[in-house]
Every structure is written in structure tokens, then in C-alpha cells.
Amino acid sequence: MKEYRTISKIAGPLVFVEKTEPIGYGELVNIVTFDGTIKRGQVLDTSDNLVVVQVFETTAGIGRDSGVRFTGETIKMPVGKEMLGRILSGGGKPIDGGPEIVPEKRLDITGAAINPYARASPNEFIQTGISTIDGTNTLVRGQKLPIFSAAGLPHNNIALQIARQSKVIGSTEPFAVVFAAMGITKEEANHFMKDFERTGALERAVVFLNLADDPAVERIITPRLALTTAEYLAFELGMHVLVILTDMTNYCEALRQIGAAREEVPGRRGYPGYMYTDLASIYERAGIIKGLKGSVTQIPILTMPGDDITHPIPDLTGYITEGQIVVSRELHRKGIYPPINVLPSLSRLMNLGIGKGHTREDHKKVSDQMYAGYAEGNDLRGLVAIVGKDALSERDRMLLEFADLFEQRFVKQGYDEDRTIVDTLDLGWDLLSTLPVEQLTRIDRDLINKYHPKFKAGATKE
Amino acid sequence: MEVKEKDSKIDKLGVLKRISGPVVTAVNFDAHMYDVVKVGNEALMGEVIKIQGEETIIQVYEDTSGIRPGEPVVNTGLSLAVELGPGLLTNIYDGIQRPLSVLVDKMGNFIERGVSAPGLPHDKKWEFKPLVKEGDKVIGGSIIGEVQETNIVHKVMVPPNQKGGTVKSIKSGSFTVDDVVCVLEDGTSLTMMQRWPVRVPRPVKEKLNPEIPLITGQRILDGLFPIAKGGTAAIPGPFGSGKTVTQQQLAKWSDAEIVVYIGCGERGNEMTEVLTEFPELVDPKTGKPLMERTVLIANTSNMPVAAREASVYTGITIAEYYRDMGYDVSLMADSTSRWAEAMREISSRLEEMPGEEGYPAYLAARLSEFYERAGLVITLAGGNGSVSVIGAVSPPGGDFSEPVTQNTLRIVKVFWALDAKLSQRRHFPAINWLNSYSLYLDTLHDWYDREVSPEWNTLRSWAMEVLQKEAELQEIVQLVGSDALPETEQITIEVARMIREIFLQQNAYDAVDTFCDMKKQYDIMKSIKLFADLSATAQAAGVTPSQIIGSKAKNELPQIKFIKDYKPELEKIAKEMDAEFTTLRAAA
Ligand SMILES: Nc1ncnc2c1ncn2[C@@H]1O[C@H](COP(=O)(O)OP(=O)(O)OP(=O)(O)O)[C@@H](O)[C@H]1O
Ligand SMILES: [Mg+2]
């Protein structure tokens, strides 16, 4: 393979190479430094006189004397069944002291888009055992449902609890977890690894670790390696794969860094204008394919800079994913775990996975009614602070009470508490029954007669 | 207007000089703007978007990985065009009209590249029934025959850019879209298929002012902010506020005859949902599966951006084609912001001078050109047809002051403002009744008068007034609490709540409530008004607000939404309300 020594410029993670033969767009590049270290990169722009290479590692050590080798192919990832139980670097190299991965296949890490016509509608209810998810923001197999959190909040524990407790009732099909860390601290990574070990989940997991002190640009490929692995496990080996990506904020920062190095016209807050498309090329790699057994379910985690949900990172994510679970600092301060604020949270695929034949016929309406009650009660808190409880009508007082109950009993639960969906829904009815029945306008009479604790068969009429 | 296909013989060959993502540069290349070209050894489809000195700049509709400088470029000499003819309905296409089902057959579950696929099935035979005979005069746009496409009758037309003439011969029988079915005296032969360049609007005889509403079965839309058939509407909102659900509701239940649904840079699963759901849903008007009147365009967020840019044009051209047959077509574009972003991405690769927030300076022009393709028209054939366009807008951070929302609002006549505060409390559709508007109210006034009830327009104004009043009162309540309000106003608050919870809220996922015809909308609103009137009289007679608000019969009203044959129940509630108030008045 020909080696060029025609580097003309190095700027941030970008290396400019002159006078090459025709080089393909997107090709994998190896740059050999003076001490023989090989650094990997990818072609971002190619023309007859200049090739721009984005290096996935630090450019320290690269200079005019470095050799550049173009491999003639796009970046591929070796995949195989053996990967389960392995810990790899953010660049895909084993870091657990074990042997190299024996590739059964080498797959392009960009991953082609699933043809929408080939997709099957996700509709299998995943019970996470967390009421605010199962009851009001239901996760289904093949969904991409991110956790919007912020610095200092327990999103990692929530993700772990989901990973640990998730099950599809009655299913015995094989499952796996793919965990990709991008720029998280060693301590956080240890927290994940310990929990995986404690619960034996590691055997069924593939872990990619790009830590805070690893090269930032490597983060660009980490999620793609993870998803390529997940797709392989799901669509070729028929497993149900849960992918956890954390922290997507660090990924976006790396993206911004490259944009700046390329001197692109920046979009909002300095992030590249194509960030929506770029994030979509990650998040859309979830789903189910008609006629195939497995599925890819994604739980990306991101920390909202300044707790701001309109910041481009959560904003663009929310526009692509199928809902979001929002972790709230206020609930966390009140000592409520998991501090999930259901109001801005949403699961868009919920309706496909709940109701008769999935969970229970009353699910949707119980959820809607709780939302309405909690939203109104929550608003009243502001009012009470100004006018005092006495100025409230009877109805308002009850709603206020309901909001408190909802947080203390429905939202709050233990880190190891695994509630069944029936428990969750019954709990919902219990709380709703504290409101006058005529206020339950979202629920039709038949369901009230069947499930309302005061009306259902066997209940003692007042 | 005349559209000429360019000389297809300029089969010029060029050489690639530079590849930068979806934008490539060729040299030694003869081309016109918007020519379709084949790029590289794999002949990827692209389109010329800029000519500069020696260089021809091309946007490529497929992934360009691995393409090298020095590979060839071939000009087809054609513009980006769609195939129009029987076989469009029930189909799902990507942004450049490749049928996704054919792509699955050709390349499996994932979209690879370098595969071309014609928009129409060319081997399928259709039963062609002529509607003109030898010696008849036809012009561009004339209907010469028809085909039963689905339950929809497909009119076969003379392409609008042809001058027509006298029919020399016409056949009846079973043909493919390539077979000649009609020959004119001057030797022109016509098939059931025509090609049309997507960036050029199809000509019409005349544009008319719309006067009939597009009835959608959604109370807040039909009742408060209606769109006319042939009108334009925008539905902006932050993520998760209900743009897609509203658009899908319109695609399902609006009384258009043809629906074109464009998933432009949005989610794959949403298109799958349409694909699985629509064949099972029945058009309330015709009783036929909804899919039979629908064409889907799906260029999801992870499919190539250049094809996303084209998808909107592909969709509107198909919509115009059915309009030309005399149909009422409605087109939903979800989301026009992703289309604008595709323009921005391409523009920035061209290193054009950016306008506001990096969007190209021509953003406003492109948006208005697109919405201008809507309208109620007299077709070239002399019939009436319409295209209504409803565009979703996805403003960053939910902030409506950004360029795409603002430029859209300058053009469209109806504004359905989605509100995150409403969606967070699960008030759906989360359309803000104070900020939204429809500029068609005046022109549609007579229709509502005639077709719904002479009372409707007053009832609507009354409801809007109550809602407006409530907003003012809420400000006071936030300061002093509701008990401190004067008595009449306490009742206004209660009535407003009923309007919101009973009339405005509508559950898209409830089998009955998902669609509400105008008659039922009227009946529901009338019942709320009845309560308001009874309350006013009762209050005058000395009944206290808390007695009125505590009255029981009205609490049954929300249930009406979930009952299909609601009439008997509604009458019963009205009687009970009446009786309850009589008792209250008597006791006061
Ligand atoms: N009319 C409705 N009835 C019931 N639920 C609704 C309605 N409209 C919206 N929703 C709920 O809101 C969720 C989000 O709506 P939708 O997917 O349409 O948002 P969107 O505005 O298109 O968001 P994005 O910009 O991210 O695509 C839906 O999944 C559904 O749960
Ligand atoms: Mg949407």
C-alpha cells in the first residue's frame, strides 16, 4: 500500500494531505507517526489535489514526517458472537486483556438506513418495573427513548435499573445489552461495570468505553461501533438488544469541535448545521425488521447543559427520538427517586404497546387522567404560594393533594423495586379515586365501573 | 406554459474533481441547471445545482462513500421528473420516487445505493376505457380515458405541455403504461403515463378562491380554525407537541379524495405506522380502505439529504397531477423544517453566503413557491380540482421567531399553533386556541350557514369569546384565587373549562372520538351553550355559582365524545340539565 508523506496542514483533528492518487470519499486512513504508532482517520473531503482526513485519535505525534496510508475501503468493524461479555475501547479494540475479536463478519460502521417499508411497527411492551415509565411513558421493543438529564442527577441509576429490570412478559427470547460510554468519567464507568457484574449482566453485554481522558474525536465512532454490533446481534443473530449510549452531550461536543476545525458556518450555539442529520444517523438505528427475529431498542442518555431542554442537544434529540424521559432537579431535591418529571416526558410509541392484548384496556385513559390531574395540581402550587390554600376552591384543593400523592406514591419507588404493570395501574386507580368521580372526564364510564376502587365489582357503594 | 424536455442527446461525459459528502464537483462537463446526472462508476443519481466557471456542482441523492476524483459523470439531459400514471396510489416512495417496496426486493432490508427503480409498475396491465373518440379535438390536459386504479378512477390526460389536436385513433382494453393508447392526427402518440419535472408547477387554466372547508373531523380545526379546500395551513410546534399526529389525523379523516403524505426527514417508524394502519382504516365517506386514496413519500431523517430536498417537490407534483383529473387532493408535509435544513446543508457545502441562521437567502422564495402550488383551480380540462397543503414546522427550541416559521406564516392562511404547555398536560390536540387563526373564516361563513346550521357561526364566535374572556380571568385568578372572582365570572370559567375539555380536547386514539363530523360538533357546542344559558337564567334567579358549578347533569357531557350514536344520550342529558336547573331556580 502506497504511503504518502505530503501532509501540508494539521488543524485540530484534521489532517490535510496533498498530491495523492484519487482517494475515495469516506475511506479509512492510517497515519503512521515517527515512532510507528498508527492513528486511524477518515476522509472528509477529497479532490484531485487535496484530501482532508479527520483523525479519530489525538493528533499528537503527527507531523510532516508522518506517513499516510489510504486503505481503499470505508471503516469496518469486525463482529462476532464472541463479543458478548467483552469490553472494548471507544475505538473498538479489546481492553479487557482478552484476545482480539474473531470476526465472523466485517461490517460498515455507518450502517445503511433501514428501508421504512421493511420495518415492522414496534408494539411489544417492555416492563421496566418503573411506574413513571411503564404507566405513563411506556417503552416498547424497537423504540429509541432517551433520558434527558443534567449534571448531578441519577440518570445512570435509572438507566441501570431499566437495563436490569426490563422484560417482555412471557418472552424467553435471547437478549443482550450493548453499552457505549462516550467521555464519561472512570468513576461513572466503574459504577456501570460493577452493576453489570453484580447482576451477571456482563455476560450478555458488549461494552465500549471512551472515557473522559480518551480522545474526544474517537467519540464520533463509538456509538456507530456500538450500533453496528447491536444490529449484528439483533438482525443476524436474532437477539433483542438494548443499547445504552451515554453521554450523547459529549458526542455532540466532539461534533462541534470537528465542525470548528473545518471552519464551517456554525448553526445554533456553535453546533454544526447538520447535527440533526448526524444524530438521526445514530438514533434511527433502532427498530424491528419484518420477518427478522431480533430488535434494537435504544436508550441514549444526555445531560442538558444548564438544565435547558431547548438547548440544541436535547432539542434535536427530541425531534428524532420517539419520546424522552426527563429527569428533574426539583424532584431530586425533594428526595424522590427516580426523579422523573412525567409532564415533559413522553413515549410516542406508548399507544402501540398498551391496552387490551398488551397491558390492560384502561392503561391509556388512566395515564391521561393522571397527567391531567398532576398537571393541574402542579400549576396550583404556584398559586398557593401567592394566595394561600384558603383561597382555593374545594376542587383545587383536591388536585393539589393529588399532585403530592402522585409524586410520593407513583413517582417515588426503590432502586430495586420492580413493579408489575398491574401494580402500577392499580396504584394509578388508587390515586385517582381520591378525586371526585365526575372529575375523571378522560375515562369512559365502562372503565370506571370496572376498575375504579369505589365502583368496581365487590366495592362497597358509598 | 410550455415545458420542454431538453435535448436528450447531449450525453456528455465529465470527470469528478472533488467529493465532499452529498455535494460533488465535476469538470469538463456540459450541463444545464437541474439536469439529472449519473455520478461515478456506480452511476449514483444526482442533480446539477450550480455552474461556476469550469466547475459543475452536483447534489447526489445517494451516499457518496468510496467515490473518487477521476470517476466519470454522465449527463442524462433530463430534468428531475416523476412518472405519473396509474399505480401511484397505495405506493410508498423515497424522495426521488423510487418505490420502497421495489427497493426491498432489489437490495434487501437496508437502503444501499446505485439501484434505480421506476416510479410506476411498467409490466402491470390496466383496463383502459376511452372517453373520447376518433375525430374529437383534444388539448393539453384533456381527459382522453380512464382506468380503475383502486376504488379511485384514474383519468388519463394529454400531458399539459402538449398542444393536442384531433384524435386519429384510440383503443380500449388492457395495456401497460408504456403502450400507446391514443394517436393524434399529427402523429403524436399518447400512453397512460406522463413525465413531469418536479420543480415546475403543472399549469392550470385559472386559480379560484376557495369557498368550501376541508372537513377534517377534528373539532378545533373544523370548528374554530378551518382550512379551505385548496388552502394552505402551517402547523408549527416543538418536538412532541402533536404535529405528526395531527397530520396523520388529517390524512385519515379529511374529506379529500386523494391524500399525498410526505415524511420529509422524519422517523422511519412513523411511516411504518401509516403503512400498517391505513390499509385497515376505512374512509368514512366511501367505506373503502384509506390506503386506496393515499400516496406516501418517505425520505426519513437518515436517508440522503439531497433526496429529502427533492421529496417535497416529488409530492406536490403527484398532488397536482391528481388535481388535474378534477380531484380534491390534500398534501401533508412533515416536516418542512427538515426540508429547509436540507437546503441549508447543501447551501453550506456550496459555500454560499448564508442568510438568517445559516439558511440560504432563497429560503423564503422556495417556501412561497411551494405553498403557491396549492389552490382551487379550473383545470386545463375545464373541471374543478384542488390541492390543499398542510405543512408541519419544527422550530428549534419551540421558538416561533425562527426563519422557517416566520417565512411560512407570511404565506399560509391558517396557523395552528401547537403549544408544549398543552401537550405536557395531555390536552390534545395541543393547538393553542388563542394564538391560532384561520383567514378563511369569512369565505367559509356561508358554507357553515348552509351546511351545518344558521346558528353555527354565532355559536363559534360565542365560544371564542368565552375562551378569550377566560384567558383574561385566569390572569386575575393567578393573583387572587378563583374564589375571589365575581359570581358571573366564576361561571364563565366553568363554561370555558367545558369548552376546552369537551369540545377542544379530542383523543386521536379513541375509536369513536378520533373523528367527529360537523353535525356532532355542532350538537356538542350547542349543549355547552345550553348549560351557559341555563346558568345565566339561574343566576339571575338567585342561584349561587357553587350550586351551578356543582350541578350534576352536565358532568355526563364529556362521555358524549366516546359514544357513536350519541343523540339519545345527549337529549337525555339536556333534559336532565333542564330539570336540575328548574329545581335549583325553584329553591332559590
Ligand atoms: N390528538 C391527539 N390525541 C392523542 N394524543 C396525541 C394527539 N396529538 C398528539 N398526541 C400525543 O403526543 C405525542 C407526540 O405527538 P407527535 O408525534 O405528533 O409530535 P410532533 O409534534 O410530530 O413531534 P416531532 O416534531 O418530534 O415529530 C403522540 O405520540 C401522542 O402521544
Ligand atoms: Mg412529528
CA B429 to ligand 1 center in whole angstroms: 8
Whose grid coordinates read 403549544? B419
How far is B411 from B409, CA to CA, in rounded Å? Answer: 5
Q: How many residues does chain A have?
A: 462
HEC string of B540-584 equals HCCCCHHHHHCCCHHHHHHHHHHCCCCHHHHHHHHHHHHHHHHHH
Distances (CA, A) of B510 to A170, B245, B503, B552, B562: 28, 13, 15, 25, 7
Q: Report the DSSP pairing between strands B189-190 and B328-334.
A: unpaired
How far is A364 from A360, CA to CA, in rounded Å? Answer: 9
CA B241 to ligand 1 center in whole angstroms: 5
DSSP state letter for B283 = -
Amino acid of residue B563: I
Nearest CA to ligand 1 atom 6: B428
With 0-12 / 13-18 / 19 or more C-beta atoms within 10 angstroms meaning exposed / middle / buried, residue B9 is: exposed
Bond before B335 cis per omega within 30 degrees:
yes
Q: Are B84 and B321 in contact (CB under 8 A)?
A: yes
CB-based contacts of B32, cutoff 8 Å, min separation 6: B6, B48
Q: What are phi and psi of A244, to 5 degrees?
A: -110, 120
pLDDT, one tens digit per residue, over A164-189 is: 899 888 888 889 999 999 999 999 99
Average pLDDT, chain A: 92
Whose grid coordinates read 450523547? A248
Sign of CA dihedral A54, A56, A61, A65: negative
Residues of B in contact with A376 (CB under 8 A): 425
Bond before B121 cis per omega within 30 degrees:
no
Q: Report the DSSP pairing between strands B92-93 and B55-60.
A: unpaired
Nearest CA to ligand 1 atom 9: B242
Stretch A273-279: mean pLDDT: 91
- Taking CB atoms and an 8 Å limit, are A371 and B426 in contact across chains? yes
Nearest ligand to the C-alpha atom of residue B243 = 1
pLDDT for B10 beyond 60? no
CA dihedral B35, B40, B45, B49 (to 10 degrees): -40
How far is B455 from B398, CA to CA, in rounded Å? Answer: 37
Stretch B269-276: mean pLDDT: 90
Q: Report the DSSP pairing between strands A125-126 and A105-108.
A: unpaired
Q: Is the CB of A348 under 6 A from ligand 1?
A: yes
**Residue A460 binned pLDDT confidence (cut-offs 50, 70, 90):** low
Nearest to A319 by CA among B81, B22, B152, B264: B264
**Residue B6 binned pLDDT confidence (cut-offs 50, 70, 90):** very low
Instruction: Report pTM.
Output: 0.93
CA B244 to ligand 1 center in whole angstroms: 6
How far is B323 from B379, CA to CA, in rounded Å? Answer: 8
Coil vs helix vs strand at B284 = coil
Stretch B110-120: mean pLDDT: 89
Q: How far is B345 from chain A (nearest CA, A)?
A: 6
Across the strands, what pairs with A414?
none
Closest atom of ligand 1 relative to the B218 alpha carbon: 1
> Among all residues of chain B, which has the CA nearest to that of A369?
B426
CB-based contacts of A193, cutoff 8 Å, min separation 6: A87, A202, A207
Closest atom of ligand 1 relative to the B429 alpha carbon: 1
**Residue B348 binned pLDDT confidence (cut-offs 50, 70, 90):** confident
Lowest mean pLDDT segment, chosen from A18-27, B97-106, B308-317? A18-27
Mutate to test the pocket of ligand 1, among B222, B264, B428, B510 (most ligand atoms within 8 A of CB): B428
CB-based contacts of B496, cutoff 8 Å, min separation 6: B466, B467, B469, B470
pLDDT for B7 beyond 70? no
Select the residue of B70, B103, B345 nearest A115 (Cβ to Cβ). Answer: B103
User: The C-alpha cell of A210 is what?
Assistant: 471512551
How far is A238 from A245, CA to CA, in rounded Å? Answer: 21
Q: Is the CB of A319 under 6 A from ligand 1?
A: yes
User: The C-alpha cell of B244 is what?
Assistant: 405528526
ipTM of model: 0.90
pLDDT, one tens digit per residue, over B129-138 is: 999 999 999 9
**Residue B571 binned pLDDT confidence (cut-offs 50, 70, 90):** very high
Q: How far is B74 from chain A (nearest CA, A)?
A: 18
Distances (CA, A) of B484 to A289, A404, B171: 59, 25, 81
Nearest to A245 by CA among A194, A178, A155, A313: A178
pLDDT for B9 beyond 80? no
Mutate to test the pocket of ligand 1, among B241, B248, B264 (most ligand atoms within 8 A of CB): B241
Amino acid of residue A147: I
pLDDT for A93 beyond 50? yes
Residues of B in contact with A311 (CB under 8 A): 397
Amino acid of residue B100: L
Q: What is the pLDDT at residue B420?
A: 92
pLDDT, one tens digit per residue, over A341-379 is: 999 999 999 999 999 999 999 999 999 999 999 999 998
Q: Report the DSSP pairing between strands A295-303 and A147-149.
A: parallel
How far is A110 from A127, CA to CA, in rounded Å? Answer: 31
Q: Is the CB of B269 under 6 A from ligand 1?
A: no
Q: Is the CB of B248 under 6 A from ligand 1?
A: no
**Residue A459 binned pLDDT confidence (cut-offs 50, 70, 90):** low
Across the strands, what pairs with B295?
B260
Nearest CA to ligand 1 atom 24: B239
**Residue A2 binned pLDDT confidence (cut-offs 50, 70, 90):** confident
How far is B216 from B504, CA to CA, in rounded Å? Answer: 14
Q: Are A138 and B320 in contact (CB under 8 A)?
A: no
Residues of A in contact with B357 (CB under 8 A): 267-268
Q: How far is A311 from chain B (nearest CA, A)?
A: 7
**Residue B11 binned pLDDT confidence (cut-offs 50, 70, 90):** very low
Angle, helices B456-480/B518-540, rounded to nearest 10 degrees: 60
Distances (CA, A) of B216 to B213, B295, B519: 9, 18, 13
DSSP-derived secondary structure for B312-363: HHHHHHHHHHHHHTT-EEEEEEETHHHHHHHHHHHHHHTTPPB-GGG-BTTH
Lowest mean pLDDT segment, chosen from A219-228, A384-393, B105-114, B334-343? A384-393
